[in-house]
Structure formats: structure tokens, C-alpha cells
Amino acid sequence: MNTELAFLCDSALDDRGKLHAMGIGIDGVQGNALPMTHPRFVVVCVMRYSVFEAGDKRMEIRLLGPDAQDVLPPVEQVIALPARDGVVDANARIIAEVNGVTFEQSGPHAFHVVIDGNEVARLPINVSVGPPEGGLPVSRAKILLATGNADKQRMLARLLEGLPVVGVTPAEAGVWADPDESADTHEAIARAKAEEWSRTAGMPAIASDGGLLVPSLGANWESRYTHRFAGPAADDDERQRRLLELLRPFAGDDRKAAFVEGLAIADGGRTLASWEVQGATGRIVDTLVDRGGATDGDGFWVFPLWHFAEFGRTYDRLTEAERASLGDHWDALRGLVQEFVSGWLSSESGFTGF
């Protein structure tokens, strides 16, 4: 049995014979103080074996510190090396997660991969304390933009502009999650999303959940169901038509509406900060003829209906400066995120998940 490839990374997936990995080549972690916890390492080994070596094998992954003692209990599992008809040599891709690693010492460490008592790979990793030269270490540079919606990803990325962090999409990280969205408030839903995504991705995550407030509709409207109130099969055109039907009996100020947005940042399945803000108040247009541009199915179906008399246009057609002058909910969140993340990165304990 020969080891053809072995490395540490942030995430990996074996998809129908193709190996996909994110953050390949981790060889060090850095923090401001000990102990420090890294949420997840993924160990990847590609082994070549012969037909004579096929069968179930006992694999053990051990992480040893500078004193040659175990940093955590060995990770053990049984791996299958199948015999294939007519094939003398075959490849096996081994992917193993090691979660919640707490380092008590600085200095050289190493993951040792052992199969049936024989070491097949040694993956060194150095643990250091103190600020690195030239800014943040690579292991603290990423935050997951926790949504599959490309337009929402751009909105979340905008909140982080100017900060020494890089927003990573789920596709780039090779991860997916389906968090529960049944909580009672937008902030609570955002917290659940961020926590689930951060657990899945093994990195900090930023997530949001928002909805339209329409006071005149009372019990006939719930902001948490803004996207799905018209049913799971409805498209944006149908949602717009249904909202206008609900508001048909109302005119003038009774068509006022505001947007509320919850936002959360989590790491390792734990919320670090969360907020809920209400933005500007506009008015829902009277008919579809009065709406703004098309939504392209981006999930922001309300914005072409949400009119602001100050500018004579719907929200989707306002400039960033015009939105900011109204007290836009995303601008309010950007200030909160910028303040929190800046303090987080400069704190003594720092973000261990980055």
C-alpha cells in the first residue's frame, strides 16, 4: 500500500471519482493566546493498493504535540478497500474530519495517519502565538457568506468591505446546509442559519433573514413568511400579484411598509453577535404597472413594489447614496458588523475560527 497524496484542508468531498477540496495545505495555526481552538481539520489521503491488500482496514488518526503526547483522543474508523474484478491496483480516497481541536502548547505538532498499525502519512502543523507579520494569518482570513442566493451573498459581502477578511461562498467552500427557519424572529432565524452553516463549513459564518412589515394587514401578514407566503411553488411575479391583492382595500398611508432584517455571525455552531434592524418606511405601489424593474428570481421580489416618494422611484432603482439617506436597513447593519468584526479581530483572544 502506497500513499500517493496526503494533506490537511478546510473541507473535502469525493464526488463520483473526483476529489474536491478547499483550503488545501494547512500547515500552521496562529492565535493571540493559549489555549486556542480550531473548529475543524480535514485529513485527506489518496492510497494505492493491490488486490492482495483489499479488505476492511482499521484506520487511526492521532494528533501529537511537541511532547509526543496525544492532543486529543485518536480518531478511529474502519475503511473499506474493495477488490475490483480484473483490477490489480486501485485507488482509495480517505477523507476524515477532526473537529474541535484545542491546542494547549505552541510549537510543532503533527497528524499521524495509521492503517493496521502502519503509519501511511504524517502531516505537520505548527502552532504559534502572537500577531503574524503582514497582518492576519490565512487561517483567520475567511468567513462564510451563509446563503445559496447569489444576490444575498453580494449583500453580505458588502457588509465586510474594508475589513481584513474574505467572504467565501458555500460553493467555493464545497459545503451545503439546510438550517431550520422556524424561529419566532428574524434575528433568531439568522442565528440558527449562522450556527448551522458555521458547524457545517468549519469556519465563521455570517447569515441574515429579513421580511416586509405591512402594519395595515395585521394578522393577515407575517414578515417571517415574506418569501413563502404565496406558497412554495410561487415565483416572484406571483408573490407580487398576491401582495397587491391583499392590499387592494387599502390606499394612501395604509399601504406603508418597512423592511426588517436580522443578521448573525457564528463560529463553531455558536452565535458571536446578532442584530435585528428596521429600515426606512415606503409605500407599496397600487398596481403592477407601477412596479420597478424585474427581480430575476433573486428573492428580493418586494423591492420593485416598495416606493419612496422622496425620489419618485421604487427601492430597487435607488442608488446606494439614496438608500443611505433613507436610513437603509443594510447600511445600519454594515455599521454594526464593521464595528463588531473590527473589535473581534483586535481583541486579545481573537477569532479562533478564522
By annotation, the residues acting in catalysis are: 209
What are φ and ψ of residue 62, in 5° steps?
A: -120, 135
As given in the structure block, the three cell numbers for residue 306 are 416598495
As a whole number of angstroms, the distance between CA 300 and CA 308 comes to: 16
Report whether 202 contacts 8 (CB < 8 A). no
Residue 51, number of CB atoms within 10 A of its CB:
14
The DSSP H or E segment spanning 190 is helix 186-201
As a whole number of angstroms, the distance between CA 183 and CA 202 comes to: 23
Angle formed by the axes of helices 150-159 and 329-346, to 10°?
A: 60
How many helices, marked H, and strands, marked E, lie in the chain? Answer: 6, 17
Q: How far is CA 184 from the centre of its chain?
A: 22
Report whether 107 contacts 126 (CB < 8 A). yes
As a whole number of angstroms, the distance between CA 46 and CA 3 comes to: 6
SS3 265: strand
Q: Which of 277, 270, 271 has its CA nearest to residue 159? A: 277
DSSP string, 269-293: TEEEEEEEEEEEEEEE-SSGGG--S
As a whole number of angstroms, the distance between CA 213 and CA 185 comes to: 12
As a whole number of angstroms, the distance between CA 183 and CA 29 comes to: 36
Q: How far is CA 194 from CA 141, 229, 273, in A?
A: 17, 23, 10
As a whole number of angstroms, the distance between CA 65 and CA 76 comes to: 18
